[in-house]
Structure formats: C-alpha cells, structure tokens
Amino acid sequence: MAASWLLKSAQCVMTMDDAGSEHVSADILMRDGVIAAIGHDLEAGDAGIVHCDGIVVTPGLVNTHHHLYQTLTRAVPGGQDALLFGWLKTLYPIWARYTPDDMRVSAMAGLAELALSGCTTSSDHLYLFPNGARLDDTIEAAAEVGLRFHPTRGAMSIGESKGGLPPDSLVENEHAILEDCIRVIDAFHDPAPGAMVRVGVAPCSPFSVSRELMRDAAILARDKGVRLHTHLAENDEDVRYSLATFGCRPGQYAEDLGWTGDDVWHAHCVRLDAEEIALFARTQTGVAHCPCSNCRLGSGIAPVRAMLDAGMRVGLGVDGSASNDGGNLVEEARMAMLLQRVDRGADAMSARTALHLATRGGAQVLGRDDIGQITPGRRADLALWDVSGIESAGSWDPAALLLAGPRKVRHLFVEGRQVVRDGQICTLDLAALARQQRSSAARLAAG
Ligand SMILES: [Zn+2]
C-alpha cells in the first residue's frame, strides 16, 4: 500500500471549502495521511498514481448517527410497520441475546456498507451491552475496516419496572455506566488532529435513563473534554413522554441538564419547535438528521431548512440499520434533499447543499475541522465517484451527484489509505463477512 497517492486529472474536485470551490481536471496529492496539494500537472514523485478521468472527487462523507449493532436485525417482521416505541419493544428481546462477537460482526458489516457509500468517518451509538459486549468490540471492527470512528458509550438505566421502555434485563446500574464511560475514554479517546478514534458519552434517550444520569454524563463529558450525544424529540410520542414525565418540552429538558452547547449533538430533532431551534442555534448545539429512518418509522419531516436558516449545525446520519434498513450515506443525503422539498418546495434544498451537510456539516457536528473539506493540510479522506456509468449518463452537471450519479464509490481513501478499490472493500473479505453476518442473524432469529 503506497503511503502517498496522486489523483490525476479528476473531472471535478468538489472541495466543500468556504467558497464552495470546484476544480476541473485537477490533481490531488496525498502524503502522510494529509492532503498535500491540489492543482494541475502535480509531480507524483514516489506516490502511487490513480487516474481519475470521469471521476468526481468529494470529501469523504461523515455519518453522525448510527447503531452499528442493528445491522443483524434488519427487516425483522414484527418491527417492519411499527412506530418508534412499538418497534423498540419488538427488538429489545432480540438484542438481549447478542454476544460480543455479534457486536463486532454487525459493526464491521455496517461500516463496510458505509464505506462503499462514500463514508470515511462514522459515529456510533451503542447503548446496550448484553452478555459481556463492550464498546471495545466496535472499536476493533472500525480499525479492521479502516474508517475514522467516533464511538459513543451509550446507556439505558430505567427499565420497565421503573416506568421506562426497555426490559429490565437490558438496563445497567448508573454508577457502573459512568465508570465504564471513564474506562473507554481513558483507553481510546484521541483528541489530536487526525485522530482515528474519538469517544463520546451518550445516554440512550430521555425515556431510558434518569434525569441524574443525563446531568452526571454532561459533567463527566466536560471534565474529560469529550462530546455528548443522545436522541431527542424524535416524534410526537417522544415529545408527549417529555411533557407527561418531565413537565417540559425536550429542548427545555436538554438545557436544564447541561445538554446544549457546541460539544453536544442530538439525533433526529424532528419535532423541535421554533423556540427550540432558536435555543440550539444560539448555543451551537448540533443535530444528526436521519431522513430515511424518519420516513421508515413515520416520525415526520425534520425542519432542516428552518434549522439551517437559524444557523444551526446540521449533519446527516443513516441511523441504525434496523430503522432504515440500509446504511448508504449518499442515499441519505439524497433523501435529505428530497424530504425538504416535500415539505417546503423544490428550492428548499439543492443537491450541493445536501452534499455539504453530508461532509462539512457532519464534520462540524462531530467537532472536527481537520476533515470534511478538500484543502491542503486537511486529512486525506476522499470519496471518488465514477460518473462515466449509466447512472450519470446524460447528466449536464456531473457534480450534482445527488440528482444523477452513482450510489457507491469507485475508490475511497481514509487518512490516505485505500479502503475501497474499484468498487470493492480492500481491507477485508466481504463475502466471508456476509456469511458470518447471516449465520449470526439466523442464530438470533432462532431465539
Ligand atoms: Zn438512533
């Protein structure tokens, strides 16, 4: 594997820099994991050369919300047509049967699927740890696939017997949760530029942990200098639960417990009202918008146009593979664009804006200024899209990828290392992984 690469004569390089620059017939030189130069007729030196005729280059896409463990429970019959709470109650008993190896296999499959769809950085939200499973299992998986990874140590502590949604067998003691958060941060979190792993703290949702754990998690995260993540205002049921249980809307609940700020991002926020949007914009609180999951669970259309107009930070997420049921991030960006148009008209979101959310937007939500754009000095995380195929044939604007373009990458580089080559994952045996995944899923289905 060459340590340096020269991408030669790309049809278009969409930099996603502040000016939105797009370069035609341009070269990109990657050296030591970093973008060293962009220009014309660059010298290769000892770098490997990738000829890029008919290729559009974008920054690697950034996925801001996922539950990688769910890749083994796609299209489960009892959950196919249920709303959020009913869907969760169908799946909890199945998830309770997971082993550490299931966690690893499921994460690898989910990350491989993401990589093929142009994703170079993914967050993950793991909030159940049955039968000895640990956050470590997913971190190991990400290292094998070769993606940049932001795992968050999730948690559930209020079981059914205390008025929560999950079964008692899947909840943990709150003291043990905080102790394990400290363990994984100390073991894996890397604050340095170019970090391949950054850990976050992420109680599952206001309806599965106590008010005290939400507050203590925020204190711990700030003490350790890591980010906070949870689910918020996902649908009407979720808002009703907040009003009935806490006597306030989700935004107020978040603010009261320290869950606003530029080090916090919330998944979904489909039902934020105008006041909550203003609060999140003012505090620079981020949102992971997951349009396919919102469609799949009938949650509604998140007010993304209003969020952007207010100056909020918005990234995209595929959400767990049990509520999508895929994990294709470029499809997610297209869905984000389409859904705003359903709500607000054809000029509500352009293809380039949606791609901006999938790259720069996601990087900002994860607190990273070293990725998300193609400029010298940024990390060499690049997605190469072949626009010479049938999906792009007849397109007058190949850079409008989300209107007409491939849904899988031709090549993918992370930290200057090639993860996808000629449309295939080159870091692992995908067929063997799919076999493992099928056998794990069959065992879980057998009960
Ligand atoms: Zn989620």
pLDDT digits (tens, 9 = 90+) for 235-253: 999 999 999 999 999 999 9
Cα of 109 vs centre of ligand 1, distance in Å, is 17
User: What does the alpha-carbon distance between residue 313 and residue 334 come to, in Å, rounded to a whole number?
Assistant: 19
Interior angle at CA 441, CA 436 and CA 447, nearest 5: 135
pLDDT value of residue 2: 54
CA of 67 to the centre of ligand 1 (A): 6
Length of the chain: 447
Ligand 1 center from residue 154 Cα (angstroms): 11
CA 169 / ligand 1 centre spacing (Å): 20
Whether the per-residue pLDDT at 149 is higher than 90: the answer is yes
Instruction: Label residue 4 by pLDDT band (50, 70, 90).
Output: very high
Report the separation in Å between the CA atom of 320 and the middle of ligand 1, taken as the mean of its atom positions: 6
Q: Which residue has the tokens 């000095």?
A: 377
Identify which has the larger pLDDT, 216 or 88.
216
> Residue 125 C-alpha to ligand 1 middle, in angstroms?
7
322 Cα–ligand 1 center, Å: 10
Q: How far, in Å, is the centroid of ligand 1 from the Cα of 435?
A: 26
66 CA to middle of ligand 1, Å? 6
Q: Are strands 34-39 and 227-232 parallel, antiparallel or unpaired?
A: unpaired
Q: Quote the ligand 1 centre to 16 CA distance (angstroms).
A: 27
Cβ atoms 38, 374 nearer than 8 A: yes
Nearest to 228 by CA among 210, 241, 209, 214: 214
Distance 388 CA to ligand 1 centre (A): 35
Q: What distance in angstroms lies between residue 156's CA and the mean position of ligand 1's atoms?
A: 13
Is the four-CA dihedral 78, 82, 84, 89 of positive or negative sign?
Answer: negative
Measured on CA atoms in the order 143, 144, 149, 150, is the torsion positive or negative? negative
126 CA → ligand 1 middle, Å? 9
301 Cα: distance to centroid of ligand 1 (angstroms)? 15
Residue 1 has pLDDT above 60, yes or no: no
Cα(243) to centroid of ligand 1, in Å? 21
- Check whether 388 has a pLDDT greater than 90: yes
**399 Cα: distance to centroid of ligand 1 (angstroms):** 30
CA of 339 to the centre of ligand 1 (A): 19
Record the pTM: 0.97
pLDDT at 304 over 90: yes
d(CA 30, CA 409): 18
pLDDT for position 321:
80
pLDDT digits (tens, 9 = 90+) for 321-368: 878 888 999 999 999 999 999 999 999 999 999 999 999 999 999 999
Rounded to an integer, the average pLDDT of 197-204 is: 98
Predicted pLDDT of residue 258: 98
247 CA distance to ligand 1 middle (Å): 24
CA of 234 to the centre of ligand 1 (A): 9
Distance of CA 33 from the midpoint of ligand 1 (Å): 31
Could you tell me what percent of the chain has a pLDDT over 90? 91
Q: How far is the CA of 266 from the centre of ligand 1 (A)?
A: 10
- 421: CA distance to ligand 1 center in Å? 30
Centre of ligand 1 to C-alpha 200, Å, is 15
206 band by pLDDT with thresholds 50, 70 and 90 = confident
pLDDT per residue over 394-445, tens digit each? Answer: 999 999 999 999 999 999 999 999 999 999 999 999 999 999 999 999 999 9
Separation in Å, CA 369 to CA 193, 309, 334, 432: 9, 22, 24, 36
Rounded to the nearest angstrom, the distance between the alpha carbon of 30 and the centre of ligand 1 is 34
**Ligand 1 centroid, distance to 270 Cα (angstroms):** 12
Phi-psi region for residue 300, left (φ > 0), alpha (ψ -120 to 50) or beta?
Answer: left
Q: Residue 113 Cα, ligand 1 centroid: separation in angstroms?
A: 17
How far apart are the CA of 402 and the centre of ligand 1, in A? Answer: 24
- Taking only the tens place, the pLDDT of each residue in 50-94 is 999 999 999 999 999 999 999 999 989 888 888 888 888 999 999
Mean pLDDT over each residue of the chain, to the nearest integer: 96
Q: What is the 3-state secondary structure (H, E, C) of the chain?
A: CCCEEEEEEEEEEECCCCCCCEEEEEEEEEECCEEEEEECCCCCCCCEEEECCCEEEEECEEECCCCHHHHHCCCCHHHCCCCHHHHHHHHHHHHCCCCHHHHHHHHHHHHHHHHHCCEEEEEEEECCCHHHCCHHHHHHHHHHHCCEEEEEEEECCCCHHHCCCCCHHHCCCHHHHHHHHHHHHHHHCCCCCCCCECCEEEECCCCCCCHHHHHHHHHHHHHHCCEEEEEECCCHHHHHHHHHHHCCCHHHHHHHCCCCCCCEEEEECCCCCHHHHHHHHHHCCEEEECHHHHHHCCCCCCCHHHHHHHCCEEEECCCCCCCCCCCCHHHHHHHHHHHHHHHHCCCCCCHHHHHHHHHHHHHHHCCCCCCCCCCCCCECCEEEEECCCCCCCCCCCCCCCCCCCCCCCCEEEECCEEEEECCEECCCCHHHHHHHHHHHHHHHHHC
Token pair, residue 205, equals: 């949702």
Across the range 280-298, mean pLDDT stands at 96
